[in-house]
Structure 1
Amino acid sequence: MTWDNALKIYDEIVASCDGFERKGKNMIYTSSNGYMFTLLNKAAEIGIRLPKDKASKFMEEYDTGHYYSYGAKMKDYVLVPETLWTDKDLMVGFFQKSFDYVNSLPPK
């Protein structure tokens, strides 16, 4: 998938969510409470931040792994397989869960 197509899908998912918006021009992300919680990297991959137990379950259920951005493993982030991107309800649900998670953390 091209980066422009991935950006379009990412923007559509974020636009369907309540309480946050997409940020960044080169580094695309969402943030709340001082924490980033979703990312679109240069490799056109979407990552979401989840609590450790939910991250492990996500990776097992969707046969994926940790998320990397700019060559660095992102703590608490999982790589969202492209096969899930077209399921807007599922993606919005995971973005909302990620949003809820960072808002449960102490503010930065």
Structure 2
Amino acid sequence: MNRDELLEIYDAVVVANPNFQRKGKTMPYTSANGYMFSLVNKANELGIRLSKEDQKEFDASYGAKPFISYGATMRDYVLIPEPLLSDHEVLGKYLQKGFEYVMSLPPK
């Protein structure tokens, strides 16, 4: 999937949720409570930060793989597999879970 297609999907899913908005021009991301919880990296991959419990659920359903950005494995993030990108409802559900997770952390 090329970057424009990924960003179109990402923007559509983010806009559908009133709890957060897309930030960043070259490296699109969402954040709340002082923490990022989703990011599109330079390799045109989407990662979402999830609680340990949600990571286990995601792994059971989709096979969680680490999300790497700028050569670093992003802690608590899962790599969203390309087939899941076409399911906006599920993608939106996991973005909301990422938002809820960072809102449960102490504010930065």
TM-score (norm 1): 0.94
Number of residue-to-residue matches in the alignment: 108
Fraction of identical pairs, as percent: 52
Which residue is 2:13 aligned to? 13
CA distance in 2, matches of 1:72, 1:50: 17
Gaps of 5+ in 1: none
Task: Tell me the alpha carbon deviations over residues 34-93 of structure 1, each in whole angstroms, 9 at most, x when there is no partner.
Answer: 000001111111100001232133123202311111111000000011111111111111
Counterpart of 1:83 in structure 2 is 83
Residue 12 of structure 1 and its aligned partner are, at CA, apart by 0.7
Q: Distance in 2 between matches of 1:53 and 1:93?
A: 14
What is the CA–CA distance in structure 1 between the aligned matches of 2:65 and 2:96, rounded to whole Å? 20
Q: Does 1:70 align with 2:70?
A: yes
Moved over 4 A (4+): none
CA contact (8 A) 2:54 2:97 kept: no
Hey, what does 2:101 align to over in structure 1?
A: 101
- Supply the RMSD in Å over aligned alpha carbons: 1.0
In the alignment, structure 2 segments of 5+ residues that lack a partner are: none
TM-score (norm 2): 0.94
